[in-house]
Structure 1
Amino acid sequence: MSIAHRTVGSGPRTVFLTHGWFGSSDGWGTFPEYLDGDAFTWVFTDIRGYGQRMDEEGDQSLDESARDILALADELGVERFSIVGHSMGGALVQRVLALAPERVEALVGVCPVSSTPTPFDEAGRELFWGAAEDRDKRYGIVDFTTGNRNTPIFVNSVVDWSLEHSTKEAFANVLEAWAKPDFEDEVKGNETPVLVLAGEHDPALGKETCEQTWMQLFPKVRLEVIANAGHYPMFEAPVNLATRINNFLKETGA
Structure 2
Amino acid sequence: MIKLGHKIIGTGKKNIIVLHELMGNYKNYEPTFTYLDTDSFTYIFVDLRGYGLSKEIEGNYSCNEASNDIKNLITYLNLDDVTLLAHSMSTLIAQKIALIDARVSKLILVTPIPPSGIKLPQIAQDKLINEMSENKNKIEEIVYSASKRHNKIWAKTRIKMAYEASTLSARVGYMKMYLETDFSNEVENINIPIKIIVGKYDFPIFGIKSITKLFSNYYNNLEIIECQEAGHYPMLECPVYFASKIEEFVNKK
TM-score over 0.5 for the pair: yes
1:28-79: CA deviations, max 9, x gaps?
Answer: 2312322221221110101100101111110111111111111111111002
- Mark the CA change 1:245 to 1:139 in structure 2 (over 3 Å): closer, same or farther: same
Residue 107 of structure 1, CA deviation: 0.2
Distance apart, 1:136 and its partner CA: 2.1
SS in 2 for 1:27: helix
Q: Which residue of 2 aligns with 1:190?
A: 190
Aligned pair count reads 250
When residues 176 and 118 of structure 1 are mapped into structure 2, their CA distance, relative to the original with a 3 A threshold, is: same
Counterpart for residue 111 of structure 2? 111
Provide, for residues 69-113 of structure 1, a one-character-per-residue CA deviation record: whole Å limited to 9, x for no partner.
11111111002211000000110100101112x211100000011
Confirm or deny: 8 A CA contact 1:5 1:52 kept in the other structure: yes
Q: Does structure 1 residue 162 correspond to structure 2 residue 132?
A: no
Matched position secondary structure for 2:30 = coil
Q: Residue 217 of structure 1 aligns with which residue? A: 218
- What is the distance in 2 between the residues matched to 1:238 and 1:10? 20
How much does 1:238 deviate?
Answer: 1.1
Match of 1:185, SS state, is: coil
- Per the alignment, residue 178 of structure 1 pairs with 178
Contact kept? 2:230, 2:237, Cα under 8 Å: yes
Q: Name structure 2 gaps, 5 residues minimum.
A: none
How many Å apart are 1:2 and its aligned residue?
4.4
| Whole-Å separation in 1 of the counterparts to 2:178 and 2:124 | 18
Any conservation in 1 of the 2:28–2:235 contact (CA below 8 Å)? Answer: no
- State the TM-score, normalized to the length of structure 1: 0.92
Decide whether the 8 Å contact of 1:190 with 1:219 is kept in 2.
no
Distance 1:131 1:32 in 2: 31
* Alignment-mate amino acid for residue 159 of structure 1: I
Mapped pair 1:7 → 2:16: no
Conserved 8 A contact 1:196-1:214: no
Q: CA RMSD in A?
A: 1.8
Are the aligned partners of 1:61 and 1:177 in contact in 2 as well (CA < 8 Å)?
A: yes
Instruction: Return the alpha-carbon distance in structure 2 between the equivalents of residues 10 and 129 of structure 1.
Output: 44
Matches within 5 A, 1:71-150: 71-100=72-101, 102-120=102-120, 126-127=127-128, 129-146=130-147, 148-150=148-150
**Partner amino acid, structure 1, of 2:37:** D
Cα shift at 1:133: 2.9
Q: Distance in 1 between matches of 2:184 and 2:90?
A: 15
Deviates more, 1:110-119 or 1:194-203: 110-119
Alignment check: 8 A CA contact 2:125 2:179 kept? no
Contact 1:199 1:227 in 2 (8 A): yes
Give distance in 1, aligned partners of 2:61 and 2:191. 28
Do the aligned residues in 2 keep the contact of 1:189 with 1:218 (CA within 8 Å)? no
Q: Greater helix share, 1 or 2?
A: 2
What SS does the corresponding residue of 1:142 show, helix, strand or coil? helix
| Runs of 5+ unmatched residues, structure 1 | none
Aligned to 1:44: 45
Is the deviation greater in 177-186 or in 191-200? 177-186
How far off its partner does 1:19 sit?
Answer: 0.1
Runs of 4+ in 1 over 6 A off after TM superposition: none
